[in-house]
Amino acid sequence: MTPLEQRIGYKFRNSLLLAEALTHPSLSHEAQQRHPDYQRLEFLGDAVLQLVITEHLFQNFRGEAEGQLTKLRSRLVSRNALRAHAASLHLGQYILMGRGEEASGGRERTSTLADAFEALIGALYLDGGLEVAREFILTQMRENLEELAEKPVDINPKGNLQELLQSISPQSPVYELVSQTGPEHEKTFVSKVVWEGIVLGQGTGRSKKQAETAAALEALQLRLWKKTP
């Protein structure tokens, strides 16, 4: 077994599928010859991932409405979440890519790691079937699923705002302290959240964290990024 196969606990019958799942599109571009890359497997793996997570949530969160189930699924399959799973497998070190892509930090890039993780799911599905892919997905996401079971309706305004904005632009929102007033034991903090030069929201709290959360919540309500030209 290859080191990656040992990490995931699965031996591929068709090793070419694994190689394809770990080949970045930049390799063909740089070599100026066609190499199968992970893009098609990523397309398949994304669909398999959505199915497995949707089925799991449907069966295990019976009290949640459709809207809440959609939010929970979005948290589990966000690009940042998939990057974290890829990083836990050290997936970046196994990806074949062009020298230029590697020199520009491709092995750590969120999009690359998330895409390769989905491609790996696609390869597992083709090589071993849905049950193999399901076992891999649920094993990799066990901690996240257990956390959801404990706090299924947990509201995370800062996380939700970041996911929304990063679907538009790679730039993350920044939280800035506007003011802090009052005696040391009873301070009041005011923070604002800024993204691409736009103040999206402002909030007040007894701690910086509370103020930032309130600012994110206001930003989600106002959605000012949709109103910019």
Catalytic residues: 46, 118
Residue 74 CA to residue 66 CA, distance in Å, equals 12
Residue 52 near residue 139, CB atoms below 8 Å: no
Could you tell me the end-to-end alpha-carbon distance of the chain, in angstroms, rounded to an integer? 53
The phi-psi region of residue 151 (left if phi > 0; otherwise alpha if psi is between -120 and 50; otherwise beta) is beta
In angstroms, what is the C-alpha Rg of the chain?
21
